[in-house]
Structure 1
Amino acid sequence: MTESRATRRLAAVLAADIVGYSRHMGRDELATRSRFNALMDSVIRPAVARFGGRIVKLLGDGLLVEFASVVDAVDCATAWQHEVARSNAADTDVPQLVFRIGVNLGDVIVEGDDIHGDGVNVASRLESLADPGGIVLSRAARDQVRDKIDIPLDDLGEIEVKNIARPVRAFKIGHNREPAPVARRRWPLAAAAAVLLAVALVWLQPWIRLSEARAIAAMELPLPSKPSVAVMPFRNQAGEPGELAADVIARDVTDSLSLVSGLFVISSSSTFSYKESTATPQQVSRELGVRNIVQGTVRGTGGDFRVAVEIVDGVNGATIWREEFQQSGSDSFKLKEDISHSIARILAQNIARSSAPGRSTFSDEAYTLWYRASREIGKAPSKSGFSFAKALAESALAIDPEFGRALAVLAYIDTQNGYFGFVDDRQGAMRKGLEKARNAVRLAPDDWYVHEMLGFSLMNVRAYEDAVAAFDVAIGLAPSSDSTLIRSALPLLFLGRPDEAEARLLTAMRINPLYDWAPVNFLAMAYYEQGRFPEAVEKFDEAARLNPGFIGNMVWRAAAHAQVGNQETAERIAARLLEKAPGWTISSNFVQIRDPAMQALLDDGLRKAGLPE
């Protein structure tokens, strides 16, 4: 049997780290990230490019860089440290970021654009030994540069490196070493080309800004005023066990970020439509109207996952940040928290509220069962679908009897079974569901999901004021949850408050630009109640194209067409309604609006459409 072999190569690896990064972030996150980004643009990226290196990934507070030559890596490290020191001295009002750097020559394992293995581990260990502003080399790296660069070295002796059998000898570069001139070991033509490139970049800056402005202008939706982000479905490279894990991580990171004040987060309902797509970050940015695109890859075996995550600027295609996370044991919650917090920090926002969403169980298995159940109840209502979701939720509760979200799913199923007549005792099922929803809130009072399910259960028993209050709690906890905003619009419409419903629906449709029929139909209802009949007709027709069999749409759509004088169309829709629901009458209409004037407006349209009293 042939065994697959990992791709390996010999590489010069540079690992860099910011000294006291946590202290800087504690003082001023925004200023620290701004300063780091400025150094990346003015010092680090130009130095890496100048000496032929490749930035493998950003590590939150540092970088990993690969070179083909140790000489190039050391020259880059020296120039890097001198230029950062000069920049700090020139502007003492900004955070004084200082780097430690380690350089090693060693064997690395290659996975796509990423590298890891002993060669990387040694470089990272060497970096931790460096003085602030200093550089430490391994013996393998020292041997490569000893006769090529005039470099003072201090022997630090042998050091232990985790998972490396033998100690590694380390050497510190003296602080008096000046950066090497770039022209050394470079062809004159290459040096001239570098100068021309620098001049060209200066000349091209206005064009680059113009290019970005054009890209923003070409967006199908306007960029929000605050930092905006879309978390794409994570790629699975961990076989079958990783498929569900990749989906859960991406959706939960989206939910976590939606709790962060100051961020605009696109709903996973939209981003997961790209799951099988090859769309570029720029294309996704243009279609969803956001600047930052989060991408991830899940690797590993047997449930031990490594997740590589990056943020790409969707306007110019540049990678802003890249980092790898390791799942610790079976605690996937910690993994998702780490990813979410890191993304929030990179986008320089307040992360005080970005704890893991709905962490009302500490069982990965129970959480995965709830996740599958929640996906199932999100499909078109059916007796078999609800039965399957119920079995999943009950299995989750058998593992953790205090898991609020699992109980909330059971509450939703009971109320929906009663509402759609999938059980004989409809009122009893809805009452039972409402009781479960209230118990779920008692189990998890800080979880937006259980409050949303309570709101839905209250709405089904027509306790509209209480439903609005429950939805308001959920929105306060998760302002970027499009499902909560959409569902909360319904009790507002039944209370005759269309202006509030319209505002929530428009917000939801911006968060989820690839929305389905529901917000379109509810928005049409708001327009009807406001007396905006032509706009209502347009939206009801759009909703009918998306979900042609929905009876609720037929009721309102017939009335709307009648109000604008489309009598033939209104009567045709009314006939189809009576065909789908024999015996339907205006007096038995399940749509009952508390505002008498708005109910009268609906009834008037239904009569004009020729529907029976």
Structure 2
Amino acid sequence: MAEERSQRRLAAIMAADVVGYSRLIEQNEASTLAALKERRRTILAPLVAHHHGRIVKVMGDGVLVEFGSAVNAVACAVELQHRMAEANDGLPEDRKVVLRIGINLGDVVVDGGDLYGDGVNVANRLQGIAGPGDICVAGSVYDQVKRKLDFGFDELGLQTVKNIAEPVLVYRVWSSSSTMQDYYGQAEKAALPLPGKPSIAVLPFTNMSNDTEQETFVDGLTEDLITDLSRTSGLFVIASNSVFAYKGRYVDVRRIARELGVRYLLEGSARRAAGRVRINAQLIDAIGGDHLWAERFDRSLEDIFAVQDEVTGKIVEALVGRLTTPPARSRPTNLEAYELCVRARALGLQTALVAREAIFLLERAIALDPEYAEAYRWLALNLWCGWEFWDEPMDPNRARAEAEAQRAVALDPNDAGNRWVLGTILGHERRWAESDAEFDATLRLDPNCADAWAMRSDLITLNGRPADAVEYVRKALRLNPHPPGWYYWMLGQAQYALRDYESAVQTLLRPETYRTTSRRLLAASLAQLGRMEEARQEAEMFMISNPNFTIRHWSASQPIRDEDVRQHFVDGYRMAGLPE
């Protein structure tokens, strides 16, 4: 009989809950419950009906809604956040009802009027990832709505969610009604001021080949052009992570320039076929609307690196004239090795499983080209992250990570990326003078290296200089306005060390940051604010993903130079209830 009543279907599921519900109830239970009831009646129910949805159930501070269309679900969620923001207007902070929303498109099990299954579970996890006033959607939802709704989307990358076997690709919805700007007290999408030097962003080149497998090759071309331009001290160059936030999106170039805070944009396309590559590139003045330079390159594939150098030289000459050429980076001698390295580079630093895949690709690249410095650098970084963050074996990965990083610098001391990776590893080995020297060399070679600015802030915080660390992350964020989540982890850590716990909580609640590693620091920050129930909840959730964590082991393993800083972190972790 149970099987006859149950059925499966594809549905778009919206899960929403109230941020800080326990705190609101504690402050004024009657007022909070009345406000929730009123908003469900006057805002939620009419919007769900208008967008052809069905309220499945209401659970205290949360609600689960089913839609037959992903478009309807996202449109409803955006309007819901807009209406909630209007209702909060003029209310004191302790009476504002702020939602976070997650939306997933997946298979659900229908039993009576209720819904079950992974489709529902993922929606709930996405809601947990979302920050205050935010909407986070799964990649399956994004694929359905990206060209049907006039909203922007920030890719937050693959996220590991509880009880779901595979990581979920997550996007955050941006719209004119986004309430996150109000919550954080800053207009994140407002135009950034232009730097004092010529500023440029290289937009992701378009793959014009019929073969979709060439996408990685074209992305690698974009990244290499950014790297080469970045080394020119006379330019201000936006990091690749931020420009790839616009990939596949049809956004006016003037808007992109405003959001990234640059005057010039490089657009281009590449077609690879039959051993040849054709590249079209044009340099645009986004303020004046002029095309400053455009050219087509039709070359043998073996000449790809010469083409990159030529494009870089023409852009530099067009913007700042002839400058002293920075020391050349070494180039791979084997094109297959280069493509393997580009594939590994594209994987990023996400999970232990992804790191193992990257390591496999990089070892193959090195076997083909034993003098390929960049491959050694990424190999070192993945090995280091494995034992430092993802419970991979320390032996032999720890010693090997340092050896591979040293090898990268020996092969190419003029590549800033090699230098900051070695500097990071040496710093965590407590070889601080050597680490400082490598970071100094990095920023001389490439003052636009956003990752180096952000990574160095970690070591500076642990050296007892959190105010300097905040400035370093701010520099990184200006160069990389759409950064990977670990930038905000570094910022939150520095804010905690400064005892600016409110700012730390706001930073660490951002969806880009809200991951397993950041929960520990978020728990400590909440505890320092006296928000003990939330602190203990975050600590418990952190321990689910990090069951072997102890304060003692953490304290012994960190490259902390200032004992007051060490004790301050230890105190916060103890207050939050993390195990000794």
| Pairwise TM-score range, normalised by the shorter structure | 0.5 to 0.7
> Partners in 2 of 1:574 and 1:329 — Cα distance?
52
Q: 2:367 aligns with which of 391, 398, 404?
A: 398
Partner of 1:586: 551
Is structure 2 residue 493 aligned with structure 1 residue 525? yes
Distance 1:599 1:327 in 2: 56
Question: 2-side partners of 1:443 and 1:272: how far apart?
Answer: 29
Q: Which residue of 1 aligns with 2:525?
A: 560
Per-residue CA distance 1:47-95 (angstroms, 9 max, x = gap): xxxxxxxxxxxxxxxxxxxxxxxxxxxxxxxxxxxxxxxxxxxxxxxxx
> 1:253-312, CA deviations, whole angstroms, 9 ceiling, x for partnerless residues?
111110111211111111112120111211211221111011012246313222221111
Q: Which residue of 2 aligns with 1:548?
A: 514
> d(CA) in 2 for partners of 1:329 and 1:573?
51
The answer to whether the 8 A contact 1:232-1:296 is kept is: yes
TM-score, normalised on structure 2? 0.63
Cα offset, 1:333, TM superposition: 0.8
CA distance in 1 between counterparts of 2:387 and 2:481 reads 32
SS in 2 for 1:338: helix
Q: Contact conserved, 2:195 with 2:262, CA < 8 A, in 1?
A: yes
Matched, 1:364 2:316: no
In structure 2, the residue matched to 1:488 is 456
2:475 is aligned, of 497, 503, 507, to 507
Letter in 2 for 1:443: L
CA spacing shift, 1:354–1:249, aligned 2, 3 Å:
farther
Give the counterpart of 1:608 among 550, 553, 575: 575
Match of 2:201 among 213, 221, 230: 230
Q: Which residue of 2 aligns with 1:252?
A: 224
**Alpha-carbon deviations, 1:311-355, whole Å to 9, x = none?**
112124322221222325611111000000001110024532356
In structure 2, the CA distance between the partners of 1:329 and 1:595, relative to structure 1 (3 Å rule), is: closer
Matched residue, 2:12: none
Give the conservation status (yes or no) of the 8 Å contact 2:241–2:484: no
- Matches of 1:224 and 1:519, distance apart in 2: 21
Is the 1:412–1:456 Cα contact (8 Å) retained in structure 2?
A: no
**1:416 aligned onto 2:416:** no
1:219 Cα deviation (Å)?
Answer: 5.1
Structure 1 position 251, deviation (Å): 1.3
Partner of 2:349: 379
Q: What residue identity is the alignment partner of 1:550?
A: T
How far is the alpha carbon of 1:570 from its aligned partner? Answer: 1.8
Counterpart residue number, 2:443? 475
Identity level (%) = 31
Alpha carbons of structure 1 residues 428 and 495: separation in structure 2 relative to 1, 3 Å: farther
2: CA distance between counterparts of 1:309 and 1:440?
31
Read off the aligned partner of 2:191 and give its amino acid letter: E
Q: Which SS does the other structure have where 1:446 is aligned? A: coil
Deviations 1:368-390 (A, max 9, x none): 222222222x13122x3233222
**1:440/1:566 Cα in 2 relative to 1: closer, same or farther (>3 Å)?**
same
Q: Within 5 Å, give how 1:31-430 maps onto structure 2.
A: 220-240=191-211, 242-299=214-271, 301-328=273-300, 330-354=302-326, 358-376=329-347, 378-382=348-352, 384-420=353-389, 423-424=392-393, 426-430=394-398
Higher CA-based Rg: 1
Shift of 1:522: 0.8
SS, match of residue 317 in structure 1: coil
| Structure 2 alignment gaps of length 5 or more | 1-188
Cα distance change on mapping 1:515 and 1:415 into 2, 3 Å: closer
Question: What is the match of residue 106 of structure 1?
Answer: none
- Distance verdict in 2 for CA 1:333–1:386, change over 3 Å: same
Number of residue pairs the alignment of both structures matches: 389
Q: Match for 1:344: what amino acid?
A: V
Q: Which amino acid in 2 is paired with 1:230?
A: A
- How far apart are residue 459 of structure 1 and its match? 3.7
Which residue number corresponds to residue 24 of structure 2?
none
State how far apart, in whole Å, the 2-side matches of 1:604 and 1:546 are.
Answer: 26
> How far apart are residue 474 of structure 1 and its match?
1.8
2:359–2:383 contact (8 Å) kept in structure 1:
no
In structure 2, the residue matched to 1:135 is: none
Matched AA of 1:603: V
SS of the residue 1:346 aligns to? helix
User: TM-score, with normalisation over the residues of structure 1?
Assistant: 0.59
Shift of 1:476: 1.8
What is the match of residue 597 of structure 1? 564
Report the aligned-residue RMSD. Answer: 2.4
What SS does structure 2 have at the residue aligned with 1:588? helix
